[in-house]
């Protein structure tokens, strides 16, 4: 494979011309006549909600999308909700998690993966990550299981899959429900079957930054008829399918999705099925190119991931290849090249004030002793993330490869320059 070396000139941060200069960026999300038509149909139908009975819901525009999305991921049931956080809270409730229970969650994810747990009065117990894949470590999950554990929640971080072979096995062995947070993993497949169809429930977000979006929204997938009935009830103010419209049986939210969102999602899904494959092809190309340059590597390949959806294209930075330039400075230099990269969430979830300041009934900080050294190292030293939309833009990917090569060629100069200008920003 050819390796581009056309941009080893001066890095932009040292006064050179940015490698991404002049590269056209697509508007995100893509939309057009089909979305407009679908929205107008909802407008003119006069039916802006999806209805109250399970039958009405199934016949709605949103119901049609649910079936198509569930099928794409190999699940029997899909139930749309207001957002991804609600999807997680709903799945935990339907799986039987109650106040006072414990749920094992990843230390490395977006905060909502863990906040869904205290939202229902249960306690999150954090599990560390694997250095080469950034996914939750099955051994750490197992070590976090105790007598009060009522469920395991994993994330497919960045769209890469957690080790579902080991995690499904250990969940079965401990007789614990497994919930997959697939907010990053629209379209991802493990051994030929979709993310979100392996555990008891799979939760997705359709918030604006995701690969499939309606601005906001979410869905819970499951293969269990029993769980599907509970999901329906808990997302619908505690109604039961078999009872009257004004009979309420559970303390529960209204988490119903609108028909506007269902209409947009139906059209977006058609696009996303194609775009996922384009992104996957471009990501494979990028991974090979980065391997050739060295110093900023893709996550370790896992052949069990048979299709890869993306939220982030995650990379591993090795400062030793860049004259020990700190990661934050390397990212700054790449951003100066006009590249859409960042450090993702910046810290393990439990380091956020919401958890760092969380106290038990006796006023003791709940997470003062929590240690997830691998996740901490990933956040502080190695993790660099490229947003998924860049995977649709080959010239931009080429500019990233060129930018890395250029920074490598001038690493000593950059390290000197930053020594003169110490980093005074708060660590994050």
Ligand X SMILES: Cc1ncc(COP(=O)(O)O)c(C=O)c1O
Q: What is the DSSP letter of 299?
A: P
Between 305 and 334, how does the x/- string for binding to ligand X read (CB under 6 A)?
Answer: ------------------------------
Least distance from ligand X to the Cβ atom of residue 255, Å:
11
Rank residues 112 and 212 by Cβ distance to ligand X and give the closer one: 112
Per-residue tokens: 426: 């708060």
Instruction: Give the separation between CA 341 and CA 109, rounded to whole angstroms.
Output: 17
Task: For 47, list phi and psi in degrees, rounded to 5.
Answer: -110, 95
Count of positions on this chain that bind ligand X (CB under 6 A): 14
- List the end-to-end C-alpha distance of the chain, in Å, as a whole number: 37
Nearest to ligand X of 16, 387 (CB atom): 387
Contacts with 361 (C-beta within 8 Å, 6 or more apart), sequence order: none
Which of 19, 109, 149, 258 binds ligand X (CB under 6 A)? It is: 109
Residues in CB range of 357: below 8 A, 6 or more apart = 365
Q: What's CA 232's distance to the chain center, in Å?
A: 24
Selected range binding ligand X among 52-60, 80-88, 247-255, 290-298, rule: CB under 6 A: 80-88
To the nearest whole angstrom, how small is the minimum distance from the Cβ of residue 191 to ligand X? 22
Q: Which of 7, 54, 150, 184 is catalytic?
A: 184
Question: 128, 137, 163, 181: which one is catalytic?
Answer: 181
Give yes or no: 345 in active site. Answer: no
Question: Nearest approach, Cβ of 61 to ligand X (angstroms)?
Answer: 20
Binds ligand X (CB under 6 A): choice among 113, 149, 168, 189? 113
Let me know how many helices (H) and strands (E) the chain has, helices first: 14, 14
Question: Is there a catalytic annotation at residue 417?
Answer: no
Minimum CB–partner distance for residue 225 and ligand X (Å): 26
| Annotation says 248 is catalytic | no
Answer for which of 54, 150, 184, 406 binds ligand X (CB under 6 A) is: 184
Give me the DSSP letters along 304-339.
TEEE---SEEEEEE-GGGGTT--HHHHHHHHHHTT-
Distance (Å, whole) CA 94 – CA 360: 25
Give yes or no for residue 29 binding ligand X (CB under 6 A). Answer: no
Per CB under 6 A, residues contacting ligand X are 83-85, 109-110, 112-113, 155, 181, 183-184, 205, 207, 218
């Amino acid at each position: 494979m050819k390796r581009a070396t056309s941009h080893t000139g001066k890095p932009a941060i040292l006064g050179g011309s940015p490698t991404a200069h002049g590269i056209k960026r697509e508007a995100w999300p893509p939309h057009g006549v089909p979305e407009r038509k679908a929205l107008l149909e909802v407008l003119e139908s006069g039916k802006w909600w999806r209805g109250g009975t399970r039958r009405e819901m199934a016949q709605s525009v949103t119901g049609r999308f649910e079936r198509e999305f569930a099928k794409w991921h190999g699940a029997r049931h899909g139930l749309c909700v207001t957002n991804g956080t609600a999807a997680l809270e709903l799945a935990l409730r339907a799986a039987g998690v109650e106040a006072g229970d414990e749920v094992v969650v990843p230390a490395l994810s977006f905060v909502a993966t863990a906040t869904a747990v205290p939202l229902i009065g249960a306690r999150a117990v954090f599990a560390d990550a694997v250095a080469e894949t950034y996914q939750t470590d099955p051994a750490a999950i197992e070590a976090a299981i105790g007598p009060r554990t009522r469920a395991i929640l994993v994330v497919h971080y960045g769209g890469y899959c957690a080790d579902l072979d080991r995690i499904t096995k250990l969940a079965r062995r401990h007789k614990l429900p497994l919930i997959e947070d697939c907010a990053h993993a629209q379209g991802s497949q493990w051994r030929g079957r979709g993310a979100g169809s392996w555990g008891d429930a799979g939760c997705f977000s359709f918030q604006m930054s995701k690969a499939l979006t309606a601005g906001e929204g979410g869905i819970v997938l499951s293969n269990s008829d029993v769980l599907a009935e509970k999901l329906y009830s808990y997302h619908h103010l505690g109604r039961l399918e078999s009872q009257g419209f004004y009979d309420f049986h559970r303390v529960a939210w209204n988490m119903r999705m609108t028909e506007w969102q269902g209409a947009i999602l139906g059209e977006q899904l058609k696009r996303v099925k194609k775009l996922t494959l384009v992104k996957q092809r471009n990501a494979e190309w990028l991974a090979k190119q980065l391997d050739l340059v060295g110093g900023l590597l893709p996550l370790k390949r896992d052949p069990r991931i048979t299709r890869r959806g993306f939220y982030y294209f995650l990379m591993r930075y090795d400062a030793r290849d860049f004259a020990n330039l700190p990661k934050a400075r390397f990212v700054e230099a790449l951003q100066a090249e006009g590249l859409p990269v960042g450090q993702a969430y910046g810290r393990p979830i439990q380091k956020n004030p919401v958890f760092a300041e969380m106290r038990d009934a006796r006023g003791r900080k709940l997470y003062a002793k929590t240690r997830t050294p691998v996740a901490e190292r990933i956040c502080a030293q190695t993790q660099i993330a490229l947003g998924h939309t860049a995977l649709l833009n080959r010239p931009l990917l080429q500019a990233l490869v060129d930018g890395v090569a250029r920074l490598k060629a001038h690493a000593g100069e950059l390290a000197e320059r930053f020594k003169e200008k110490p980093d005074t920003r708060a660590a994050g």
